[in-house]
Copies of this chain bind each other. A is one copy, B any other.
Amino acid sequence: MNSFGSIFRVTIWGESHGECVGVSIDGVPAGIALSVEDFAEDLARRASGRRGTTPRREPDQPQIVSGVYEGRTTGAPLTVLFENTNTRSGDYSNLVRQPRPSHADRVAQCKFAGANDPRGGGHFSGRLTLGLVAAGVVAKRVLGGDVAFATRIAEIGGCTDESHFDEVIDAAMRDCDSVGGVVECRVEGAGVGLGEPFFDSIESKIAHLLFSVPAVKGVEFGAGFEVARRRGSENNDLIINAEGATATNNDGGVNGGITNGNPIVVRAAVKPTPSISRPQMTYDFERGEVAELQIKGRHDACIALRAAVVVEAAVAIALADLWLCNRSRH
């Protein structure tokens, strides 16, 4: 469904080429200072325009249409709209005829019996993450200034040296291709005790949100998949002081699904944008055979770049929900 969260509940809607996309956030505590300007920084991080991102530029101007009064949250649902201004009419019948490989075109059509909005991916478009980013901004306000987020691109196309990322992307672009990456988000100051057994572990909630983000195919915490190659004696995080600080952080700040006070470390694997301008041989449902597909337009060569702030927003939303939930218990 299009809502997530128990107390801090985020509801999103919209299609890529519809009137607008939006988000309504329920459960925001009253009295938090907030204005449209507060969304600017994170929206800019999500925006295209940098190397490796699509040239489609939209102002992405947020409109707060409910839940803020005289510069403060009211306690009622906080709703933010983004108009879709850069939508060009076009012929989308080709998506039905020859669905783009590794895109949602075909499953959307099957699931909704052909009634889905196919334009620009419709409701499956990455444009829907605008609402997530907006909700992430509010979530970070709810958590307060003591909780610090640091998000970075940890890997692009197999390269983990940030100084060579541009080269990797440029090479992919020269080949009319795209390239995948890994986003890492690190959170300090969230404290001990966030997460609810059994099913609402902090890892569960964060992963749930992250796997809603288009293109994410893997999520790991702390040492992540590396734990499968380790002994317990290597992997255990030994506690070193009365605050519970650990000598290592292989658990990524989480034990038994509950934050342990050490930094929360989460990584998301983002696949290469499936929309590439290189010709691809994929099934043509009209012709009834495999045929060449050439995707028009210009696309993100490395969507991981723009996904970073979305990953951060997802983490923030999950934390805010569990933080409010935990507060109800004391």
Contacts and interface: CB of A to CB of B under 8 A. Distances in A.
Interface in A245-292: 246, 250-252, 255-260, 269-276, 278, 280-283, 285, 288, 290
Given A7-B6, A76-B15, A231-B175, A102 B236 contact: yes
Contacts of A20: 65-66
Nearest to A279: B233
A325 B326 contact: no
A30 B116 contact: yes
Contacts of A114: 31
Interface in A64-114: 64-67, 69, 72-79, 99, 101-104, 106-108, 110-114
B217 A208 contact: no
A233 B278 contact: yes
A3 B3 contact: yes
Given A192-B111, A218-B219, A329-B30, A272 B235 contact: yes
Nearest to A223: B217
Best-buried of A15, A197, A221 by chain B (most CB within 10 Å): A197
State the majority secondary structure of interface residues on A: mixed
A223 B228 CA distance: 17
Interface size class of chain A, counting residues whose CB lies under 8 Å from the partner chain: 35 or more
B30 A101 contact: no
Nearest to A276: B232
Interface string A119-149: 1011110001000000000000000000000
A258 to B, nearest CB: 4
Interface string A180-201: 1110000000001101111111
A239 interface: yes
A212 interface: yes
A325 B250 CA distance: 34
B1 A112 contact: no
Of A4, A198, A288, A329, most B-chain CB atoms within 10 Å: A198
